[in-house]
Amino acid sequence: MMGSSKLAWYLGRLSVMPLPEIPWRIARQLRSYRDSLGARTGPAPDPSADPGTGFLLPGDLASRADLVATVEDWLARGVPFFDARWPLTGEPNWTQCPVTGTVSPNTFGMRIDYRDETLVGDIKHLWEPARFQFAVPIAQAWRVTRDERYL
């Protein structure tokens, strides 16, 4: 059950919300609920399709060779983040700073003081890999080569 102070906050927020925002927020909540149930909104991509089409691949073969070479380097030496490399072998330790070796507390993230380097190490080295920007080139390299090491 919702407490009276929380209900008062929601009613106060609703009273100052522009009218078009209300249906938008309701639709967003419904989409979020649908997504939490695993509902899909479109067909899954066909992995057997010609790797030369779509999937944000570089157009020329030299660029594809550079892409594969980059991913091979990542597999061998790790993905570069700032002045360190994040290994792609084994299961990642999302709580250990690769630079300082500090292991963050295993608790709800909002309760951790991320500014305290003695507690979490250099937080940018934990956050940057969690953005998964390296995943797209690895997926592209798989799409070009079908090499299962990239899966």
The pLDDT of residue 103? 94
Mean pLDDT of the chain, nearest integer: 83
Output the six-digit token pair for 129.
Answer: 């890999």
CB 90 within 8 A of CB 109: no
Contacts (Cβ under 8 Å, ≥6 apart) of 94: 126, 129, 130
Output the six-digit token pair for 139.
Answer: 């997926």
The HSE-up count of residue 75 (CA atoms within 13 Å, CB side) is 16
5-63 pLDDT tens trace: 888 888 888 889 888 888 888 888 888 888 777 766 667 666 666 555 555 565 666 78
The pLDDT of residue 138? 92
| Phi/psi at 56 (5° precision) | 55, 35
CB 142 within 8 A of CB 150: yes
89 pLDDT band, cuts 50/70/90, is confident
Pairing of strands 79-81, 84-86: antiparallel
pTM above 0.75? no
